[in-house]
Amino acid sequence: MARVTGGLYLAGAAAVLVLGTAAWPRPGAAVLLAVAATAAVVGAAVSWTGRRLPRWTYHGLVAAGTALIAATVIAAPGPATAVAGAAIGAFVALDAFFFFGWRGAVAQLWWLTTALTIGLASRPTVPISAVIVVDIVLLAVAVVVGGLVQRASSAGRDPLTGLANRRGFDEAAADLVRTCRRSGVPLSAALLDLDHFRAVNDGGGHAAGDDLLQSVAGRWRPALPAGAVLARHGGDEFALVLPDATGPVALAVVEQLRNVVPGVGLSCGVTQWRPGETVAQLMRRADGALYRAKNSGRGRSVLDDQGPDPLVAELTAALAAGSGESGLGVHYQGIVAVRSGQLVGVEALARWEHPTLGAQSPARFVPLAEDHGLIDALGRRVLEQACHDLAELHRQTGRRLLLTVNVSGHQLCDPDFSGHVRSALTAAGWPTAALVLEVTESLVEADSATAVAALTALRDTGVSVAIDDFGTGFSSLARLDTLPADYLKLDDSFTAALTTSTRRARLMRSIVGMAEALDLQVIAEGVETPEQAERLRTLGCRYAQGFLFHRPSPIAGVRELLEERAPTSTGPPLRQEHRRPG
Ligand code: C2E
Ligand code: MG
Ligand code: MG
C-alpha cells in the first residue's frame, strides 16, 4: 500500500511537472510547479516510511492528493491544462478502490468528483461536456478497479457464509504469523467443529445444514475481537486465528463463541503458536486438540498446552543421523495369496529403536512426525530403504515381490512428493509397477483436491495405490468408485469379526464382490488364525496379511520366508495381473 500510494503521488508529481513546465512562464505555472514539488516530497516520504503509518492515515493522504489535483485544475493557465490535470484524478480513484473498503472508497470518489467538478466548472473556458467526461472516466476507473478487487478477494471466500475459505484462511494466517514473528506478540488458533452436524443434514436436508452454518457464522462474526480471522475450513468445521492472544485467552474467546450459539453443540481445539512453527504445523496441533475434545465426549474445548515432546527432538536427531546410528529402520510384513499361501508382496513398516526407551510403535512416532513436520523426511527414508532392500532381495533370489509403502496425507500434499518417489525408484532400480502407495481413505477425503491430484499423477506413472484400513471411520462405499486406487486393504477389525459374526462375513462377501466389479484387489489385514484364513478363502478374498503368515521382520526374515514358501513360478507381482485400466 505504501509503495503504490507513494508511487502514484510521484507519478502525479511528474505529470503536473510536465504541465507546469509547458505552461511556464504564464500565470499559474508557478503554482503547478509548487504542487508538483509537494507531491514529489509526499510521494518519496510515503514510499520510504509509509509502512510504519497506521492505515487510517492513508485516507488523509488520498484526500490530500485530491486537494492537490483540484489546486492544479484551478491554477492551470488554460482549459486544456486544467482538463489534463483533472485526468490525474484517475490515480486517486484507483488507489482508493484498490485499498479501501467500499464505504471509504465511495467517500473518496465523492470528494474527488465534487472537488474536480467544482474546480473545472469555476473556469468559464472549460466546456461542461469536458467536466462530464472527466467524471465518467473517474467513475469507470473506480467501478472496474472495485470489481476486480472484489473478484480477486472472492477466491478466498466461502460463498455460503461469506467467511474466508481454507485458502483465504491460510493466506491470512500466514500473514499474521509473519507479523507475530516480527513483533513478538503471541498468536493463537482454534478449530471449531459443530457436533452432530450430519444429523442436521440428514434430518432437515442440506438447506437446514446451510441455514445452521450461516446463522452460526453470522452470530460469531460480531463477537470476535478486532484482528481475528474466522474461516469456514470445510464442512462443519471453522478455523479461527487470533493475533495478540495467548492460548488461555483464545480458549476464553472460543467459550464466548459457544455462548453466542446456545443449543449448538461445539467441539473446539485451541492452541498457541510456537516460534518457528508454520501455519500448517499450528493447525495440526489445533486439530490434535480438537480430536481430543471430540474423543472426550464432544461439547467441550481443549487447549493444546502440552510442552514440547522430548521424543520430537530425538526423532529429529535420528532422521538427521546416518542410517547406521539412527535407530530408524524398516521391517516388512508378507502379503500372501490366500489360496496358495504364496508370498506375493510385502508391506514396509517404519521402525524406531530408541536408544534408551527401546522400540517405539509407529502408532506413536508416525503421528509425532506428522505433527512436527518430520513426516516427509521419515516417509522418504522408509521409501528409499524399502526400494533398496527389495531390489537387493530381487538380485539375490530372482523374486520380484510387490512392495507397499504407507504414505501420510502431509506427504501427498508436498509438491516434491512425486519427485521423491521417482528418484527413490530410480536410485534403487525398482520398477514403478512393483510399488504400491498405501493411503487411508479419510486422508484422501480430508485433503481431497491436492491428495487426489497427487495420487492420480503418480498412478499415471505406473505406481499403484491402495486404500489402507478400509472399514474404519466413515468409510464410504460410494467413494471407492472415484478414488484413484487399485487395492483395498480391509482393516483388522473386519478380519477379527469374520469368524464371530455372520453379518460381518456377509458384508465381507459383498465388499469383495463390489471391489472386484471396480477392479480393486482386496487384501485382508490382521489375519491371525487359520479359521480366519479359511473364511477369507471361501469368501473369495484373494490376498491377506497378518501374524498367521508372517510377523513384520527385517528383510532377512522375508528372504527366509521366500525360501520356505518356494514359489511354483517367479511370476509377476499381483498388480501387473490386475492393472486397472485408465
Ligand atoms: P498399517 O499400515 O495398517 O500396518 C499394519 C499394522 O498392523 C502394522 O502395525 C502391523 O504390524 C500390524 N499387524 C499386521 N498383522 C497383524 C495381525 O495379524 N494382528 C495385529 N493385531 N496386527 C497386525 P505397525 O507396524 O505397528 O504400524 C502401525 C501403523 O503405523 C501402520 O498401520 C501405518 O498406518 C503406520 N505406519 C507404519 N509405518 C509407516 C510409514 O513408514 N509411514 C507412514 N506414514 N505410516 C506408517
Ligand atoms: Mg498400511
Ligand atoms: Mg492397515
d(C-alpha 410, C-alpha 370), whole Å: 7
Residue 360: what residue type? Answer: Q
pLDDT at 571: 44
Nearest residue (CA) to ligand 1, atom 33: 406
pLDDT of residue 573: 46
Asked if the model's pLDDT at residue 209 lies above 80, the reply is: yes
DSSP state of 432: G
pLDDT value of residue 310? 76
- In the chain, how many H helices and how many E strands? 24, 14
Least Cα distance to 332 among 313, 348, 314, 321 occurs for: 348
Share of the chain above pLDDT 90, in %: 56
Dihedral sign of CA atoms 138, 140, 144, 150 in order: positive
Q: Is the pLDDT of residue 93 over 60?
A: yes
Q: Is 54 helix (H, G, I), strand (E, B) or coil?
A: coil
> At 199, is the pLDDT very low, low, confident or very high (cuts 50, 70, 90)?
confident
How far apart (Å, rounded) are the C-alpha atoms in residues 529 and 467? 24
Distance of CA 285 to the CA centre of its chain: 14
Q: Give 310-366 pLDDT, tens digit per residue.
A: 788 899 999 998 777 889 999 999 999 999 999 999 999 999 999 888 898 898 898
Confidence (pLDDT) at 521? 94
Q: Side chain identity at 318, as an amino acid letter?
A: A
* Helices 102-121, 79-87: inter-axial angle, 10-degree rounding: 180
Contact 546, 494 (CB under 8 A): no
Q: Kindly state the DSSP code that residue 580 receives in the 8-state scheme.
A: P
Q: How far apart are CA 141 and CA 93, in angstroms?
A: 7
- Contact indicator for 264, 280 with CB cutoff of 8 Å: no
Q: Which amino acid is at 296?
A: S
Q: List all residues 6 or more positions away from 111 whose beta carbon is below 8 Å from its beta carbon.
A: 63, 66
| 524 CA to centre of ligand 3 in angstroms | 9
pTM (predicted TM-score): 0.56
- Of 330, 325, 326, 307, residue with least CA distance to 316: 326
Q: Which three-class secondary structure state does DSSP give residue 445? A: helix
Nearest to 85 by CA among 64, 71, 102, 99: 71
Assign 308 a pLDDT band (cuts: 50, 70, 90). low
pLDDT, one tens digit per residue, over 99-122 is 888 899 999 999 999 999 999 999
* Cα 190 to Cα 193: distance, rounded to the nearest angstrom: 10
Residue type, 553: S
Q: Is the pLDDT of residue 496 over 70?
A: yes
Buried b vs exposed e over 507-544: b needs ≥16 C-beta within 10 Å? bbeebbeebeeeebbbbbbbbeeeebbebbeebebbbb
Least confident of 218-227, 410-419, 460-469, 472-481: 472-481
The verdict on the CB of residue 546 being under 6 Å from ligand 1 is yes
Pairing status of strand 521-524 against strand 487-490: parallel
Could you tell me if the CB of 491 is within 6 A of ligand 1? no
> Which residue has a Cα nearest atom 34 of ligand 1?
406
Please tell me if the CB atom of residue 408 comes closer than 6 angstroms to any atom of ligand 1.
yes
Q: Specify the pLDDT at position 378.
A: 95
Grid coordinates belonging to 119: 474546480
By most ligand atoms within 8 Å of CB, the mutation choice from 389, 406, 548 for ligand 1 is: 406
β-bridge pairing 187-194 and 237-243: antiparallel
Query: How far, in Å, CA of 494 to CA of 432, rounded?
Result: 30
Polymer length of the chain: 582
Q: Answer whether 469 contacts ligand 1 (Cβ < 6 A).
A: yes
Is the C-beta atom of 384 inside 6 A of ligand 1?
Answer: no
Burial of 564 from C-beta contacts in 10 A (0-12 / 13-18 / 19+): exposed
Residue 328 vs residues 126, 173, 320, 379: alpha-carbon distances, Å: 83, 35, 11, 11
pLDDT of residue 581: 37
Whether residue 451 has pLDDT greater than 70: yes
Helical ranges in 126-274 per DSSP H: 128-154, 166-183, 197-220, 247-260
User: To the nearest whole number, what is the mean pLDDT of the chain?
Assistant: 88
Helix (H) or strand (E) segment spanning residue 490: strand 487-490
Give the mean pLDDT of 415-438: 94
Which three three-digit cell numbers place residue 85? 490535470
Pairing relationship of beta strands 521-524 and 328-337 according to DSSP bridges: unpaired
- Name the 3-class secondary structure at 314: helix
| Per-residue model confidence (pLDDT) at position 578 | 41
pLDDT (mean) for 538-559: 95
Q: When comparing pLDDT for 490 and 51, which is higher?
A: 490
Q: What angle do CA 331, 334, 339 make, to 5 degrees?
A: 175
Residue listed under C-alpha cell 485400466: 581
Give the CB-side neighbour count of residue 460, counting CA atoms within 13 A: 7
Count the Cβ atoms, other than its own, within 10 Å of residue 400. Answer: 21
Give 538 Cα–ligand 1 centroid separation in angstroms: 26
Q: Which residues surround ligand 2, an ion (CB under 5 A)?
A: 406, 438, 468
Tell the burial category of 445 from Cβ atoms under 10 Å away from its Cβ (0-12, 13-18, 19+).
middle
Q: Establish whether residue 496 lines the binding site of ligand 1, counting it when its CB lies within 6 angstroms of any ligand atom.
A: no
Does ligand 1 come within 6 angstroms of the Cβ of 526? yes
Give the mean model confidence (pLDDT) for residues 50-59: 82
Rounded distance, CA 418 to CA 424, Å?
10
Euclidean distance between the first and the last CA atom of the chain, given in angstroms as a whole number: 49
CA of 468 to the centre of ligand 3 (A): 5
Stretch 7-34: mean pLDDT: 93
Confidence of residue 443 (pLDDT cuts 50, 70, 90): low
Domains of the chain: 2-154 (no CATH), 166-304 (3.30.70.270), 311-564 (3.20.20.450)
* Residue 525 per-residue DSSP state: -
> Lowest mean pLDDT: which of 20-24, 150-154, 545-549, 572-576?
572-576
Using a CB cutoff of 5 Å, list residues around ligand 3, an ion. Answer: 468-469, 525
Q: Residue 494: which of 475, 513, 520 has the closest Cα? A: 475
How many whole angstroms from 441 Cα to the centroid of ligand 3?
A: 11
pLDDT for 580: 41
Residue 318 CA from chain centroid, whole number:
28
